[in-house]
Amino acid sequence: MMIAFYRSCALPLALMLGCANLLSQQTQVNVTSHRGDGYTVWYPANWKLIRNGTTTTLFKPGNSPVEFKISALGKTTKDSLLAQYRKDANAIVGGQVSLGSGEEPMVYGNWFGRSIRGDATIDGIAFVVSATAIDANGQFYLFQMLCPSAISWEGYEWLAAVGRSLTFDRPSTPASKAGGGGGDGCGTGTQCLELYTGAMSRINQRTMQGMK
């Protein structure tokens, strides 16, 4: 969904009602799956998927797109992987990146990871970034998000949905043993459809609240 469209609807009552009707029609989403290197991820069918070597990139369409990357990086360690990301973040993101000094756990679906978050400026536009190191299948993966700061709340809603729809064949620390977490995963197309439809509904509700 296009953020520019939301903004254009900010106003007269007739236009607002028309926007509300269109948003309600767009709550339902179709999903499809991708089989990667030792993992499966479900995502909305209207998103764009690109494979480049061992990296899968998912783009949410719109004037303010959200981007997710899942990269299989071989045998390394969590500390080495996140230290390398900190060192190369500007080149990886394509802008000026400022990362927080700490790490936090990320637990979704059937996996556990350690995340770092921060802010970036790309061509004068502010973004939020996150990078999560995940140990699975005898190697490490890097799960990244890049999202415009203006819609960071939407980005984190999608992050939770993608994270819950991401399933590794052999996670070294299953979410069930990590304690807590961001929600159960979805193992079937029907479950993932419900998950993404719920995310879309919450995004639409917040968008409508912003129109009032």
All domains of the chain in start order, with CATH: 33-201 (3.40.1000.10)
Residue 54, helix vs strand vs coil: coil
> How many C-beta atoms surround the C-beta of residue 173 within 10 A?
16
Return the pLDDT at 205: 86
Give the pLDDT band (50/70/90) at residue 212. Answer: low
Residues 6+ apart with CB under 8 A from 137: 37, 38, 39, 168, 169, 170
Name every residue whose Cβ is closer than 8 Å to that of residue 172 and which is 6 or more positions away in sequence.
135, 136
- The mean of the pLDDT values for the chain is 84
**What integer pLDDT is reported at residue 20 of this predicted model?**
45
Structure tokens at 70: 């899942």
pLDDT at 65 (0 to 100): 85
Secondary structure of the chain: what % helix, strand, coil (to 5)? 35, 35, 30
| H-helix or E-strand spanning residue 24 | helix 13-25
**pLDDT tens per residue across span 12-62:** 434 333 444 444 445 567 999 999 999 999 999 999 999 999 999 999 987
pTM of this structure: 0.84
H or E segment to which residue 4 belongs: helix 3-8
* Cα-trace Rg, the chain: 18
